[in-house]
Structure 1
Amino acid sequence: MIAILVRSAMLLALAWIAGFVLFVLSLPEPAPDHLRTEGIVVLTGGPGRIARGVDLLRAGKADRLLISGVDTSVRPIELAVELDVPASVFECCIDLGKEAADTRGNGEEIAAWVKRHDYKSVRLVTSQFHVARATAEARARIGAGITLVPDAVPARLSARLLAVEYSKFLFRRLLLLMGEA
């Protein structure tokens, strides 16, 4: 019985390692800049994400931008000043999502925003290590018929960060497959 448990644990560990290697080797790159979508969603939490989304909006690569996971104390004018974006652009084209506290919440916030604007194509901007989980959460909630374009922002990577993110991805993916959104 113990031998079976040891073998099972070893097989599970080998499967995790093989999946981790594939996860690392398949880290995405930024989406092509020429690509246009109806909306852009940026998930807060990492350097360069919001700047990437704002730059794409300024370049006319979408009609509107959602920044998901914004702290409730942040005011649009403060962010406009920090990003050097005219307040009028915030008023017309940038929404601050303040409901999401985690990636699952981002998925819910994205789905509500996509539905509210009746978008059929959205670019999802987040750090390259976070793309797989963020895409899975968003896809589970927005459903079929919506084009979701992952756009990875390069990040400082470490083995620990990647291992933790891969483990979170596996856990959430398993729950999503079991219908636990």
Structure 2
Amino acid sequence: MIRRIVAFLFLGWAAGFLWFVVALPGPAGAERSDAVIVPTGGAGRIARGLEVLDDGLAERLLVSGVDPEVRAAEFAAEFDVAPARMECCVTLGFSAVDTRSNASETAKWVAQNEITSLRLVTSDWHMRRAAGELDRALPPHVTVIRDAVRTEGNFAVLLLEYNKLLASRAAGLAGY
């Protein structure tokens, strides 16, 4: 009996992993939002966030989880952002250290800036978990557009992220 239960659980986990890999989210269209949110940690995320800003699809950008040692001028030089653009439109968030705290940092920034719609830019393999954490942190009236940056995720990254997604959803169901 126990073997059957374990086999059933494993098959469910394996089918879920297959879905996770085959159905990775993709880029969003040209929907406008008040702001774009980019959690640090993956190649192409910040560049895509700045592209959204430059294309006029959002007015403000929060880069969440920036290393506290990074200065605005260094960020601007690294990503070729004009000083005027940094001043008006780009906020560097330094308090987040993981996906859950990215969501908390974003929720505080959204409330302070009276944001009602935002575009989440993150890696395709990270999108579901990041969006889930945001859904739990943001008030229900805030609309989130998911804009996934395509990656060449390797098996180990995908496996780890799938398990993190399962843990995140379990924590959400448990009220954490």
Range of TM-score over shorter length: over 0.9
Q: Which residue of 1 aligns with 2:80?
A: 84
Aligned length: 176
- The answer to whether 1:118 aligns with 2:114 is yes
**2:19: which partner in 1?**
22
Q: What CA deviation, in whole Å up to 9, does each residue of 1:14-33 have, x standing for no partner?
A: 1101111111122111111x
The 2-side partners of 1:156 and 1:143 are apart by: 33
Helix, strand or coil: the match of 1:42? strand
Q: Which runs of 5+ in 2 are unaligned?
A: none
Cα distance in 2, alignment partners of residues 75 and 68 from structure 1: 14
- Runs of 4+ displaced beyond 6 Å: none
Distance 2:89 2:102 in 1: 19
Match in the other structure for 2:123: 127
| Alpha-carbon displacement from aligned partner over 1:121-145 (angstroms, at most 9, x marks no partner) | 1000000000000000011000311
Match of 1:7 in 2: 4
Deviation digits for residues 47-69 of structure 1, max 9, x if unmatched? 11000001111111111000001
Q: Secondary structure at the match of 2:168?
A: helix
Query: Secondary structure, in 3 states, of the residue corresponding to 2:69?
Result: coil
In 2: Cα distance, 1:22 partner to 1:148 partner: 23
The one-letter amino acid of 1:106's match is N
1:177 to 162, 173, 176: 173
Identity among equivalent pairs (%) = 44
Q: Find the aligned partners of 2:35 and 2:62 in 1 and give their Cα distance.
A: 8
**Residue 133 of structure 2 corresponds to which residue in structure 1?**
137
Equivalent in the alignment of 1:146: 142
Q: Distance in 2 between matches of 1:30 and 1:19?
A: 22
TM-score (norm 2): 0.97
**What residue in structure 1 maps to residue 59 of structure 2?**
63
